[in-house]
């Protein structure tokens, strides 16, 4: 399994954000994490993505316990094995779409020509062919999020972690993004998506509902496709 959490707790000051989470994400799953604001779902996702470390408990990635003191190892896993999509796209305005998508591959040490070829293919696949040289201010919000998804996919990650990826989108673009996620998942990529919308969560294989820093329920919806 790609990710396993055992007894994960997160405390900030006097606030207990996560109170002991046991969760396994299996290879090829599409898991939706839902819950009210403040339930701990984004904090859980950040720990799963090795962007934050737990106060207590263990995180395993592909069967190996993660040592959060080894920043180089964490960075390697994040860059090579994980892809991130956030509510805010975090695209760099000084670069065009192609350059934004290429950046993680360049950071990983992939040759520029290969990174550029991958980026062209991904942008075309996500309906952005012909817009590669546009700047961020020249595209719509939905196109920005699709560019962010292309960037997340550039290094062929095993797992995509998405935090409210449709939170700033209208219904039409939300549908487009969800179809992209479903397609990626059918191709074998594991997806973990935080959302507060039950209708979107129902498109996953499994729903994990959180409340007050704990997992309240887990519901299996079967395999897609």
Q: What is the pLDDT of residues 34-57, one digit of tens each?
A: 998 889 999 999 999 999 999 999
Query: In terms of domains, do 18 and 121 share one?
Result: no
How many Cβ atoms from other residues are within 10 Å of residue 184's Cβ?
20
Query: In terms of domains, do 4 and 68 share one?
Result: yes
Tokens at residue 4, please?
Answer: 């396993």
Final residue of a domain: which of 133, 156, 179? 156
Query: In terms of domains, do 71 and 179 share one?
Result: yes
Average pLDDT over residues 64-76: 92
Residue 21 burial (C-beta neighbours within 10 Å; 0-12, 13-18, 19+): buried
Query: In terms of domains, do 92 and 202 share one?
Result: no
Query: In terms of domains, do 103 and 190 share one?
Result: no
User: Which pLDDT score, from 0 to 100, does residue 177 have?
Assistant: 87
98 vs 129, 130, 152, 160, 214, CA distance in Å? 10, 10, 13, 20, 40
Residue 146 burial (C-beta neighbours within 10 Å; 0-12, 13-18, 19+): buried
Reported as half-sphere exposure (CB side, CA atoms, 13 A), residue 206 has a value of 16
Query: In terms of domains, do 152 and 177 share one?
Result: no
User: Which pLDDT score, from 0 to 100, does residue 223 have?
Assistant: 56
The DSSP result for 23-36, as a single string, is: EEE-TT-EEEEE--
Query: In terms of domains, do 97 and 54 share one?
Result: no
Tell me how many domains the chain contains: 2
Q: Is 187 left (phi over 0), alpha (psi -120 to 50) or beta?
A: alpha
Query: In terms of domains, do 18 and 110 share one?
Result: no
Give pLDDT tens digits for 1-38: 789 999 999 999 888 999 999 999 999 999 999 998 88
User: Which pLDDT score, from 0 to 100, does residue 214 have?
Assistant: 94
Give the model's confidence band at 224: pLDDT under 50 very low, under 70 low, under 90 confident, else very high. Answer: very low
Query: In terms of domains, do 62 and 14 share one?
Result: yes
User: Which pLDDT score, from 0 to 100, does residue 38 have?
Assistant: 86
Query: In terms of domains, do 27 and 61 share one?
Result: yes
Give the model's confidence band at 68: pLDDT under 50 very low, under 70 low, under 90 confident, else very high. Answer: very high
Final residue of a domain: which of 114, 133, 156? 156
Given a cut of 70, is residue 132 above it in pLDDT? yes
Is-above-0.85 flag for pTM? yes
**Domain span including residue 124:** 88-156
**Would you say 50 and 59 are in contact if contact means Cβ atoms under 8 Å apart?**
yes
User: Which pLDDT score, from 0 to 100, does residue 41 have?
Assistant: 92
Average pLDDT over residues 78-86: 90
Query: In terms of domains, do 31 and 98 share one?
Result: no
Given a cut of 60, is residue 74 above it in pLDDT? yes
Query: In terms of domains, do 45 and 118 share one?
Result: no
Final residue of a domain: which of 130, 156, 182? 156
In percent, the amount of the chain with pLDDT more than 90 equals 73
Give the model's confidence band at 225: pLDDT under 50 very low, under 70 low, under 90 confident, else very high. Answer: very low
Average pLDDT over residues 82-89: 86
Given a cut of 80, is residue 82 above it in pLDDT? yes
Mean pLDDT highest for which of 63-67, 107-111, 123-127, 219-223? 63-67
Give pLDDT tens digits for 136-195: 999 988 899 889 999 999 998 999 999 988 888 888 888 888 998 999 999 999 999 999
């Amino acid at each position: 399994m790609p990710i396993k959490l055992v007894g994960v707790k997160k405390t900030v000051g006097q606030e207990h954000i996560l109170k002991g989470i046991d969760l396994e994400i299996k290879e090829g799953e599409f898991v939706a994490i839902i819950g009210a604001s403040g339930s701990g779902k984004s904090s859980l996702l950040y720990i799963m993505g090795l962007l934050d470390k737990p106060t207590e408990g263990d995180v395993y990635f592909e069967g190996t316990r993660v040592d959060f003191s080894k920043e180089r190892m964490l960075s390697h896993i994040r860059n090579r094995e994980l892809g991130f999509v956030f509510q805010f796209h975090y695209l760099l305005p000084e670069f065009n779409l192609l350059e934004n998508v290429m950046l993680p591959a360049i950071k990983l040490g992939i040759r520029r020509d290969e990174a550029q070829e991958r980026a062209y293919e991904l942008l075309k696949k996500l309906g952005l062919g012909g817009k590669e040289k546009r700047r961020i201010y020249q595209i719509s919000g939905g196109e920005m999020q699709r560019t962010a998804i292309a960037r997340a996919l550039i290094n062929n990650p095993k797992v995509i972690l998405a935090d409210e990826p449709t939170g700033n989108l209208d219904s039409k673009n939300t549908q487009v993004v969800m179809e992209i996620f479903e397609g990626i998942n059918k191709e074998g990529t594991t997806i973990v998506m935080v959302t507060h919308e039950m209708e979107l969560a129902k498109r996953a294989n499994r729903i994990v509902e959180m409340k007050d820093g704990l997992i309240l329920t887990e519901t299996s919806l079967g395999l897609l496709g």
